[in-house]
Structure 1
Amino acid sequence: MRTAYRTGDATMLRDVAAIGAAMIAVGASFGAMAVAAGLPVWATLAMSVLVYAGGAQFMAVGLVAAGSPLAAVLAGLLLNARHLPFGLALSATLGPRRWQRLLGSHLMTDEATAFALARPAGPGRRWAFWLAGTLLFLAWNVGTGLGVLAGGAVGDPAALGLDAAFPAGLAALLLPSLGDRDTRRVALAGAGLAVLATPVLPAGLPVLLALAGLVAPAVRGRRRAGAEGDPADGGRPAPAGAEEAGNVVRTGEASC
């Protein structure tokens, strides 16, 4: 059992390292772009430490460079609203103390959440979250520092295909969870909504709209409950004990 646990830990460390390497490259691109856009070095480094929001940081720098700091704040809040359901899913994982919840909320990213939810609830999930969250936070900030030093030498991560590393890594982490039928329905419904909304809505909003896929199991559950009810009674299930009472009456009639 202990050997299997260690094997799982080694596999997870390898996966975190792979995503962390891509995060260093993307963070370096952010640092170079922020400095090129006129953001001070100290502000660029502070944003990666205190905000730590990946895509929201890229968007914020672009909007600030365009002269819209208020729009940058609002867009960042809207884009990161997806962390609300993340927090609900990991509320028992972060720990009972207030500092653990505050620090864990800061380290919470799509990747750290996926690593945690890929493990059963308990100490293993908590360890996975804190390991992934801490290492990816360090990787992003190391990348930002390298980008600030390198200036514009890093270039666009999309040209190297690194922009696809994060969704590919997330997809690989979530595949084991898709064995559950309800989870599969939610994932497919959310993905379909996001794909349909991408050409219409601004970046970030299709991801939020995908949360509507959570309605799919509820709708199916209500339909199933209605189908299992008594059609002659308006689809409502018979009261508790009604079936036993009916059996007693029929038995009495038979004996007469």
Structure 2
Amino acid sequence: MCSPHRTDDPSHRTGEGATGLVRFSDLPPGVLRDIALVWLADAVVGVSFGAIAVGGGLPVWVPVLMSLLVYAGSAQFSAVGVLTAGGGPVAAAATGLLLNSRTAAFSLALADDLGRSWTARLIGAHLVTDETAAFVLAQEGRRQRKAAFWISGVGLFVAWNLSVLAGALAGSALGDTDRFGLDAAFPAVLLALVLPALRGDSA
């Protein structure tokens, strides 16, 4: 006789929607490949950010600490632009917050996919980016959505911070980065990061 509390729902047998460990096998190879490509692209931008920030006169620790605490490409580029142009930290922070405000909506939309504990949700909220949101929303099952978030989110965070550190150290070693055209790259990279955000806000 079957217990009235027992279910044969496949999602219960596989642990879908539970707080189990995230596994790479939870995602199709194609999704993992796309995530890896985004990691690589993120690292390239991170190197340029670190080098540009230091080349603009900021000490190495500023872009490194900013990347750990702020962790938002467009917000960081805009804040560094304000600082290197002679603006104060308040103006830089205000500009960064304005550009990064959309992640609050992403955090609410992805709340159920971050985990059930407050610790998971707090850490997860810091890892929310345009890219992680896109990967999560493209998945159908709860287990796949959770895996997409944590695999892409943690990987992007590590790739971004390591590449920013590498770029900052390289910028410090190179000295005058204007010789390599990084000053010209700054507005191009910033524009590429900001335009999608503005389109998303206006949609």
> Structure 2-normalised TM-score?
0.74
**Aligned 8 A contact 2:26 2:143 in 1:** no
Given candidates 187, 200, 203, the residue that maps to 1:207 is: 200
Given candidates 33, 52, 75, the residue that maps to 1:33 is: 52
Counterpart Cα distance in 1 of 2:95 and 2:134: 24
Task: Report the CA distance shift for 1:121/1:158 in structure 2 as closer, same or farther (over 3 A).
Answer: farther
Counterpart Cα distance in 2 of 1:58 and 1:8: 32
Counterpart Cα distance in 1 of 2:50 and 2:106: 27
**Aligned 8 A contact 1:94 1:101 in 2:** yes
Q: 2:71 maps to which residue?
A: 52
Deviation at residue 209 of structure 1 after TM alignment: 2.3
Deviation at residue 16 of structure 1 after TM alignment: 1.1
Task: Report the CA distance shift for 1:136/1:158 in structure 2 as closer, same or farther (over 3 A).
Answer: farther
State the superposition RMSD in angstroms: 2.9
Q: Which amino acid aligns with 1:32?
A: A
Q: Which amino acid aligns with 2:50?
A: G
Q: Which runs of 5+ in 2 are unaligned?
A: 1-13, 15-23, 172-176
Task: Report the CA distance shift for 1:6/1:44 in structure 2 as closer, same or farther (over 3 A).
Answer: closer
Q: Which amino acid aligns with 1:83?
A: T
Q: Which amino acid aligns with 1:209?
A: S
Q: 1:67 maps to which residue?
A: 86
Counterpart Cα distance in 2 of 1:93 and 1:36: 39
Given candidates 88, 102, 109, the residue that maps to 1:82 is: 102
Q: 1:112 maps to which residue?
A: 132
Q: Which amino acid aligns with 1:54?
A: G
Query: For each residue in 1:214-244, what CA deviation from the matched residue of structure 2 results, as whole angstroms up to 9, or x when unmatched?
Result: xxxxxxxxxxxxxxxxxxxxxxxxxxxxxxx
Given candidates 74, 81, 91, the residue that maps to 2:111 is: 91
**Aligned 8 A contact 2:52 2:183 in 1:** no
Equivalences for 1:183-202 in 2 at 5 Å? none
Deviation at residue 62 of structure 1 after TM alignment: 0.8
Task: Report the CA distance shift for 1:65/1:44 in structure 2 as closer, same or farther (over 3 A).
Answer: same
Query: For each residue in 1:173-218, what CA deviation from the matched residue of structure 2 results, as whole angstroms up to 9, or x when unmatched?
Result: xxxxxxxxxxxxxxxxxxxxxxxxx7xxxx95443222xxxxxxxx
| Secondary structure of 1:39's aligned partner | coil
Counterpart Cα distance in 2 of 1:13 and 1:128: 8
Given candidates 9, 20, 33, the residue that maps to 1:14 is: 33
**Aligned 8 A contact 2:74 2:100 in 1:** no
Counterpart Cα distance in 2 of 1:209 and 1:133: 25
Q: Does 1:132 align with 2:161?
A: no
Deviation at residue 8 of structure 1 after TM alignment: 4.4
Structure of greater relative contact order (alpha carbons < 8 Å, 6+ residues apart)? 2
**Larger radius of gyration between Structure 1 and Structure 2:** 1
Deviation at residue 19 of structure 1 after TM alignment: 1.1
**Aligned 8 A contact 1:147 1:154 in 2:** no
| Secondary structure of 1:38's aligned partner | coil
Equivalences for 1:221-232 in 2 at 5 Å? none
Counterpart Cα distance in 2 of 1:117 and 1:143: 27
Q: Which runs of 5+ in 1 are unaligned?
A: 168-197, 211-256
Q: 2:143 maps to which residue?
A: 123
Moved over 6 A (4+): none
Deviation at residue 101 of structure 1 after TM alignment: 0.8
Q: Which amino acid aligns with 1:80?
A: N
Task: Report the CA distance shift for 1:205/1:19 in structure 2 as closer, same or farther (over 3 A).
Answer: closer
Structure with the bigger percentage of helix? 1
